[in-house]
Amino acid sequence: MEIERKFVPESLPADLSGYPALHLTQGYLCTDPVVRVRRENDAFCLTYKGSGMMAREEYNLPLTGEAFRHLLPKCDGRVIEKTRYLIPVEGRPDLTAELDVFSGELEGLVILEVEFASVEDAVSFTPPAWYGKDVTDDPSYHNSAISRGADPRKR
Amino acid sequence: MEIERKFVPESLPADLSGYPALHLTQGYLCTDPVVRVRRENDAFCLTYKGSGMMAREEYNLPLTGEAFRHLLPKCDGRVIEKTRYLIPVEGRPDLTAELDVFSGELEGLVILEVEFASVEDAVSFTPPAWYGKDVTDDPSYHNSAISRGADPRKR
């Protein structure tokens, strides 16, 4: 079960290139349940996330590069490309902010996510000012919605 | 890890309709690793089988009927339809023969499989005469090969 809060920063940290980064390319074969293919630097995987009606289980299963390239064109809507920076959360060594900077068609879109161990912790968390607007409850910021063609900035 | 032997019976048991049966419809999104969608009577699932190079793990993950119908047209090659009869193996209450009777384009194709707990048991097993030719080592009888268009009877 993922418990996370999602934000839209208006500006990026100045020292972005100093943080660990992952280059992600992903598409969705299905969104309910989620069946996603993803390239993460030089690793490839198929992810399944149980739908709302079922237990929200998540499995990450390895793919070869060839299998990834075979499955990607079968995905619906747009392929998402982004760089994910892993940024420590000040004063909370147990948390890491994932800052997704999109490229390609969605160049300029930036979404920040923090995952929590409990709902209580998520609710009581006070975000730094630079995290910007809280869009946790806005479904248009889900990656699966973005892949279906929605650009959440244009609503 | 699946350990199985595969046969091609020349005739079917006379009392076939007396055995438990599953109606299966399945297709392959990818064959290495295997990513398969399957309808089994009124249940739907996505199956992942790790490829030869990785551990041969198998996961069966639930799909909704809608997700199944969304994913089936993305499959490569032909969709396989068959009825699977579960037939006891005489003298071996621990084993069950799965007799797959294909329909549709592959009408008339029949394949029988028995799964074993160990390689030793698989090798020492003496099949009843009606199981017919042993095709365990013939890759053209793999479901993934059949889905790619091979009809093993026509080779």
**Tens-digit pLDDT string for chain B (155 aa):** 678 899 999 989 989 999 999 999 999 999 989 999 999 999 999 999 986 544 468 899 999 999 999 999 999 988 999 999 999 999 999 999 999 999 988 998 999 999 999 999 999 999 999 999 999 988 888 877 888 877 787 76
What's the gap in Å between the CA of B63 and the closest CA on chain A?
Answer: 7
Instruction: Using CB atoms, pick whichever of B48, B61, B74 lies closest to residue A29.
Output: B74
State the DSSP H helix or E strand holding residue B96, giving kind and residue range, or none if neither.
Answer: strand B92-102
Give residue A132's region: left, alpha or beta (phi > 0; psi -120 to 50): left
Q: B129: Cβ–Cβ under 8 A, 6 or more apart, which residues?
A: none
Please return the burial class of B117, using the count of CB atoms within 10 Å of its CB with bins 0-12, 13-18 and 19+: exposed
Closest partner residue to B64 among A32, A63, A70, by Cβ? A32
pTM: 0.81
Helix (H) or strand (E) holding A56: none
A141 is an active site residue: no
The residues in A 84-103 lying below 8 A from B, measured between CB atoms, are: none
Minimum Cα–Cα distance from B29: chain A residue:
A71
pLDDT tens digits along B5-49: 999 999 899 899 999 999 999 999 999 899 999 999 999 999 999
Contact A28, A144 (CB under 8 A): yes
Q: Chain B contacts of A59, Cβ < 8 Å? A: 48, 59, 61
Tokens encoding B69: 């119908």
- Which residue of A51, A57, A59 is in closest CB contact with B64? A51
* Interchain CB contact of B124 with A (< 8 Å): no
Give the per-residue pLDDT at B23. 96
Low-confidence residues of chain A: pLDDT under 50: 53-55
- Burial level of B63, CB count in 10 A (0-12/13-18/19+)? buried
Instruction: Name residues whose C-beta falls within 8 Å of residue A91's C-beta, 6 or more positions apart in sequence.
Output: none
CA A20 to each of CA A17, A93, A108: distance values in angstroms, whole numbers, following the listed order: 8, 16, 20
The shortest C-alpha distance from B12 to chain A (Å) reads 38
